[in-house]
Amino acid sequence: EIVLTQSPGTLSLSPGERATLSCRASQSVSSSNLVWYQQKPGQAPRLLIYGASRRATGIPDRFSGSGSGTDFTLTISRLEPEDFAVYYCQQYGSSPRTFGQGTKVEIK
């Protein structure tokens, strides 16, 4: 199965700053079949990005995804207070679907 490794584990930033989150796959993810989710404490995950770079419905344009093959990035251009959360990547290019271990974006 494809192992996804997210880095860093924790990102300490201030509101207004730019956040860059990485997701690296142990083998190439076919067709850029990668998504990003946001999860806040006690809540369900929320889909942000699918197909590596396509924003899901209702997602602000400060969220963007990029990458292909084995290296993917989620960028939050200017952090809003509501963006502090844990972010997970997940691949659906190869069975079984697998998740990264998550990156926590916390207030500095």
CA-CA distances (angstroms) from residue 63 to 9, 28, 52, 89?
19, 23, 12, 14
Distance, in Å, from the CA atom of 11 to the CA atom of 32, rounded to the nearest integer, reads 25
Looking at 63, 76, 88, 105, which residue binds other proteins (CB under 8 A)?
88
Looking at 14, 44, 61, 81, which residue binds other proteins (CB under 8 A)?
44
User: Under the criterion CB under 8 A, does residue 46 sit at the interface with other proteins?
Assistant: yes
Distance, in Å, from the CA atom of 43 to the CA atom of 54, rounded to the nearest integer, reads 23
* Nearer to other proteins among residue 78 and residue 97 (C-beta): 97
CA-CA distances (angstroms) from residue 84 to 19, 41, 92?
10, 10, 25
* Nearer to other proteins among residue 97 and residue 108 (C-beta): 97
* Nearer to other proteins among residue 77 and residue 93 (C-beta): 93
User: What does the binding site for other proteins look like in residue numbers (CB under 8 A)?
Assistant: 30-31, 33, 35, 37, 39, 43-47, 50, 56, 88, 90, 92-102
